[in-house]
Structure 1
Amino acid sequence: MQYKNTTKSMSQIAEELGVATILEGSVRRGGNRVRITAQLIDARTDKHIWANSYDRDLDDIFAIQTDVAIKIAAALEASLTPEEKKRINEKPTDNLEAYDYYLRGNEYMARDFQSSSFTLAIQMYEQAIELDRNFANAYSRLSFAHSQMYWFYHDRTEERLRRSKKALDRALIINPDLPEVHAAFGWYYYHGYLEYENALMEFQKAIDLGLNNSLLNLGIASVYRRQGKMEEAIVYFLKAEELDPRSTDAYFNTAETYMLLRQYDEAVKHLNKAISLAPDQMFSYNIKLYLYLQKDADLKKARSVLAQATKNVISESDIFFVLMNYTINIFERNYEDALYSWSKGDEDAIDGQFNYTHHYHIKASIYGYLKNPELEKTYYDSALTVYKRMIEENPKDSRLHSSIGLVYAGLGNKEEAIRAGKKGAELLPISKEAWRGAIRVRDLAHIYAVVGEFDLALDEIELLLSVPSTLSENILRLHPKWDPLRKHPRFIALLKD
């Protein structure tokens, strides 16, 4: 609905979407009747290539959809493959109410990465399945939603993965040749178990069966990125953008990958597009702010991103908005302001796929920068208690071992700090997961710096600068956590280079 009631010309819309033709139409519903008008327009000349109207019972909606697709393909003189013809003629469900719930689920899935959105999507898919027990597409998307819940650390239980697999198994029984089923299997193997080859095999099956949408290409690109194959990942992320020019997710992921490659100008370009598509989504601003610090150590530009975000933020307690305020104040060494910034949020922790940092830990770090050892120790002790309990419950969570290592370092327990930091890196090495593995190495380097093992810290830093990661020389220059290394000859030489 991006262009509903727009004043933009067809040529402007076509340029934004990167297309030569545009399908324009309207839908009017009255009781069980629906009237649809559709026209295909050449955006360069503003001339109609094809037009038609349909006045049918609502039950014929899928037949109308099929007819429109076939007529448009003919008007464009496009030849359809047998797989494409089969997909066009397939009817996903006979129950329109079930289909409506399915579409609502898709809408929630596309909103953001928050637990609340995924939970609502799951409810919608379950409602769809309740109305049609043979709705294979709904089962596939239900599985995907469960996989997302697991991946983004909203629920890292085996039960969550079991629910994802159960939905997939049912979809496979209903329609083993449905490409969306195999696409969902790809996400399951990738998000649930980091089984990259199995994931790519299932994604390829989906392609062979005729699927070629933005989400599928995002999946392939994401797997390549976690394998450390960043250039291959870029190819598929760009394809995802091309297939869905309105996908904030596609532009955001492309930007993140360019960031890891330290191609910062390209990253900013794609982030700007993501922000233009969803100006109220704070996660894009958060990455853009950090990009300016990575690229040029430009605190002024970073502040300008925060100012832009402030104009569009819906809630000042949004975790990404809070993080932006907190981050810029830490880099500017305005520690009292950083403490205030963090207090504006509703979250108990920074809790995502890359890190788990409890608010006690955050406050301890800030009080350390403020040279207040009493409060620093008080909060580190509290954080230690929290992390110990969490590790007992989730002993394989690499994030927690890195975090407790940093707490031990802050408390001066060198041996335990190094042991925990190494454990975090061993649980998720770069060889297994290129992006998150690099975060674990960064945390280990930080631990070494805090406990006085400067050469070991610099070994890890040099490794990180040689591979795709979020670390840059400018981050090393600016961030106060690297202050213990400032006078070390290797660190000085590193920044001079």
Structure 2
Amino acid sequence: MNPKGFFGELKRRNVYKVAVAYAVVSWLLIQVATQVFPFFEIPNWAVRLVVLLLILGFPVALILSWAFEITPEGKSAVTPRQSQAATSVPEKSIAVLPFDNLSDDKSNAYFAEGIQDEILTRLSKIADLKVISRSSTQKYKSAPDNLREVGKQLGVANLLEGSVQKIANAVHVNVQLIRAATDEHVWAESYNRKLDDVFGVEGEVASTIADQLNAKLTGAEQKAVAAKPTHNTPAYDAYLRGLAIEHTQYGYEAYQQAAREYGEAVQLDPNFAFAWARLAVLRSFLFFNAIDPNTNTAGAVKEAADHAMALAPEAGESWIAQGAYRYRVLRDFAGAVTAYKQAQIRLPNNSYLLQNLAFVQRRLGLWQEAEATYKKALELNPRDFQLLGSLGGEFYTFLRRFDDARAAMDRALEISPESASVRASKAVTFQNEGRLDKAAEELARVPADVMEDFVLTPRINQALYERHFDTASSIIERKLSSIPGGQPLDPVTELALVQLGYCQQWMGRDAEARQSFSCAIEAIKPKPDSPVQADANGTPSTLALAYAGIGEKEKALEQAQRAVEAYENDAVSKPYSQIALAQIQARFGDVDAASGIRFEKIRGLRNLSPNLNPSELAGLTT
């Protein structure tokens, strides 16, 4: 046994405190016995008996204090499993808590967040450390009251607190490293720098922390930790604004704004590799979801990723950008895995990287590998409700492991009870089991004014599964009316427009249905020769369903088959494209062909109500 760890465990379990308290109480009892017993003519052997019992009781008290922890609520038994968990926290583990923004101008909060994030990023490049991701720490205060509990929740031995004050061209950064179990301040330092000289602070802090925790750095790690990303102050400021948007906001508009900030950063400093890398990642995401395709082109993503790699070929961030390009643009999933694993060598503590690696492994049908990668990401990001929601909704649900999916989502909801996305994903698990009453209960807990895509789709599907076509139509029309005039539809809304057309058909409103289908076709394919790329939302299949809606059989079948071919090597999206093809075949009377698309296998991988049978595919469009 490690002597240092053993004595630390003695302290953690209050054994020292119990020993001191027992000695003091015993001394008092002996004093009372020697003074009072003779007064009552109690024989001397009684005094000796008291002393003997107290001596014998000492080791018993220590043993009990080892087995039972003293807490404010009383004694709590320590099970072997709890003991193992307590001692399994690595000494070289750390979480960086949110930094306080002490600037009078509260709009400078992004700057404090950026300094915190850059210190965290540099620490995460050290393989000898365990570093908890920002997503798990951002909900804590900068200086929480119960550090021991925070350390326990995050699974770390050390916490870094800090503050940043920006006044005109001056920056004051204060940091302190604290041992979570004991509140011991291990190290503290203040840095006063000019704004154009602040770039080196993050590296200095990370290097000192590594020294304090006795972490061993390779030569490459030392270089990566100390590297200054840019010497251009305005470019760095734009880069930090982009990071702050990414970390505090979610949605297509937020990511477009963050991409604009990164674009400004590389315009100000064309040699800013990390800004190019983040620009490539965000544009790849927007490309993948068909958002502003005129800006987020395949060429724009490639340009940004290639710039990052040319400027910093050994940086993990550059390899993440390459992985994003190969995954989302080229759809070269095997190549993306290779790139992400190269990034992992350089960024051993990056949960974002691991989550994206898991995404790609799913696409390749490597389900066991993807699950293991998800779990590694959770070790570094244990309190990220979005990661837990993704594990449940975008992994276990696809495998119809609904109990596991809900267990992950329930953990997410414990952390973020108001998360509409996780609640809606939980409803989907019940829909897939045909438990529509339970699904309705979950959806009822989502505020009615939430109209984001991740809630829209389950609500529409719930109404369709219940055959409440008027309700589905109302949900879709409300969504359409909320979109500003002239704003392009995103792929989820395009699918909703097609679903609206089918609902209108089933309610006998054929003219309105034809108009909905035509609008969807024009939105997806504004020109006859416009390419319809395979994306994250099955847009090629959506177009096929729209053609089917207006009765263009040949176009519908050709487009549906083309979609199946486009997703041939995609284990996540291929089943959806097969479902769409089967729906169209059944709609035009070829039920036998629809039945031949290995219906049970499709059902096993995608969101499909178990109440359906092949003959019903002619009527349902989701």
- The answer to whether TM tops 0.5 is yes
> Does 2:466 correspond to 1:332?
yes
* Partner residue, 1:175: 312
* Partner residue, 2:223: 86
Partners of 1:228 and 1:434 within 8 A in 2: yes
* Partner residue, 2:82: none
Partners of 1:179 and 1:211 within 8 A in 2: no
Distance in 2, matches of 1:161 and 1:276, equals 39
* Partner residue, 2:365: 228
Q: 1:75-224 to 2 correspondence within 5 Å? A: 75-110=212-247, 114-156=251-293, 160-210=297-347, 212-224=349-361
> Does 2:159 correspond to 1:52?
no
Distance in 1, matches of 2:344 and 2:523, equals 46
1:342 maps to a residue whose letter is I
Q: Secondary structure at the match of 1:344?
A: helix
Distance in 1, matches of 2:249 and 2:327, equals 19
Distance in 1, matches of 2:596 and 2:564, equals 14
* Partner residue, 2:155: 18
2:466 maps to a residue whose letter is E
Instruction: Output the TM-score relative to the length of structure 1.
Output: 0.83
Partners of 2:389 and 2:425 within 8 A in 1: no
1:368 maps to a residue whose letter is Q
2:336 maps to a residue whose letter is A
Q: Which runs of 5+ in 2 are unaligned?
A: 1-137
Distance in 2, matches of 1:113 and 1:300, equals 30
> Does 2:574 correspond to 1:427?
no
> Does 2:487 correspond to 1:351?
no
Deviation at 1:85, TM superposition (A): 1.9
Distance in 2, matches of 1:8 and 1:69, equals 24
Cα 1:7–1:308, aligned 2, differ >3 Å: closer, same or farther?
farther
Partners of 2:323 and 2:337 within 8 A in 1: yes
Q: Percent of pairs identical after alignment?
A: 26
Once structures 1 and 2 are overlaid, which stretch shifts more, 278-287 or 299-308? 278-287
Once structures 1 and 2 are overlaid, which stretch shifts more, 269-278 or 87-96? 269-278
Cα 1:140–1:406, aligned 2, differ >3 Å: closer, same or farther?
closer
Deviation at 1:20, TM superposition (A): 3.5
Deviation at 1:102, TM superposition (A): 0.9
* Partner residue, 2:90: none
Distance in 2, matches of 1:293 and 1:385, equals 31
* Partner residue, 1:270: 408
Report the count of equivalent residues. Answer: 474
Distance in 2, matches of 1:165 and 1:349, equals 24
Once structures 1 and 2 are overlaid, which stretch shifts more, 189-198 or 68-77? 68-77
Cα 1:103–1:265, aligned 2, differ >3 Å: closer, same or farther?
farther
| Cα displacement string for residues 163-184 of structure 1 (whole angstroms, at most 9, x for unaligned residues) | 2222233333333322211221
Partners of 1:387 and 1:400 within 8 A in 2: yes
Deviation at 1:477, TM superposition (A): 0.7
Distance in 1, matches of 2:269 and 2:515, equals 56
Distance in 1, matches of 2:615 and 2:194, equals 62
Distance in 2, matches of 1:52 and 1:377, equals 69
Partners of 2:326 and 2:335 within 8 A in 1: yes
Partners of 1:221 and 1:233 within 8 A in 2: yes
Partners of 2:280 and 2:305 within 8 A in 1: yes
Deviation at 1:134, TM superposition (A): 2.1
* Partner residue, 2:375: 238
Partners of 2:587 and 2:617 within 8 A in 1: no
Distance in 2, matches of 1:387 and 1:448, equals 22
Q: Secondary structure at the match of 1:54?
A: strand
2:495 maps to a residue whose letter is T
| Cα displacement string for residues 63-91 of structure 1 (whole angstroms, at most 9, x for unaligned residues) | 44333323333333332233322222111
| RMSD after superposition | 3.4
* Partner residue, 1:490: none
Distance in 1, matches of 2:525 and 2:303, equals 33
Partners of 2:595 and 2:614 within 8 A in 1: no
Cα 1:134–1:294, aligned 2, differ >3 Å: closer, same or farther?
same
Deviation at 1:150, TM superposition (A): 0.9
Partners of 1:35 and 1:53 within 8 A in 2: no
Partners of 2:316 and 2:344 within 8 A in 1: yes
Distance in 2, matches of 1:110 and 1:455, equals 50
2:444 maps to a residue whose letter is A
Distance in 2, matches of 1:65 and 1:8, equals 26
Partners of 2:567 and 2:574 within 8 A in 1: yes
Distance in 1, matches of 2:554 and 2:254, equals 42
| Cα displacement string for residues 163-218 of structure 1 (whole angstroms, at most 9, x for unaligned residues) | 22222333333333222112211111111101123222222332334554122212
Partners of 1:143 and 1:168 within 8 A in 2: yes
Deviation at 1:385, TM superposition (A): 6.3
2:542 maps to a residue whose letter is S
Cα 1:211–1:134, aligned 2, differ >3 Å: closer, same or farther?
farther
| Cα displacement string for residues 36-88 of structure 1 (whole angstroms, at most 9, x for unaligned residues) | 44333333x33315131314224554444333323333333332233322222
> Does 2:421 correspond to 1:283?
yes
Residue 457 (structure 2) aligned to one of 308, 323, 346: 323
Distance in 2, matches of 1:481 and 1:364, equals 20
Q: Secondary structure at the match of 2:495?
A: strand
Query: Highest CA radius of gyration, 1 or 2?
Result: 2
Once structures 1 and 2 are overlaid, which stretch shifts more, 254-263 or 475-484? 475-484
Distance in 1, matches of 2:274 and 2:514, equals 53
Residue 41 (structure 1) aligned to one of 155, 178, 191: 178
Deviation at 1:408, TM superposition (A): 4.6
Instruction: Output the TM-score relative to the length of structure 2.
Output: 0.67
Partners of 2:319 and 2:339 within 8 A in 1: yes
Cα 1:303–1:204, aligned 2, differ >3 Å: closer, same or farther?
same
Q: Secondary structure at the match of 2:139?
A: coil
Cα 1:318–1:485, aligned 2, differ >3 Å: closer, same or farther?
closer
Q: Which runs of 5+ in 1 are unaligned?
A: 487-497
Distance in 1, matches of 2:444 and 2:532, equals 41
* Partner residue, 1:495: none
Distance in 1, matches of 2:250 and 2:168, equals 36
Residue 475 (structure 2) aligned to one of 331, 341, 364: 341
Deviation at 1:396, TM superposition (A): 4.8
Cα 1:350–1:271, aligned 2, differ >3 Å: closer, same or farther?
farther
Cα 1:374–1:200, aligned 2, differ >3 Å: closer, same or farther?
closer
Deviation at 1:93, TM superposition (A): 1.8
2:193 maps to a residue whose letter is D
Partners of 2:287 and 2:296 within 8 A in 1: no
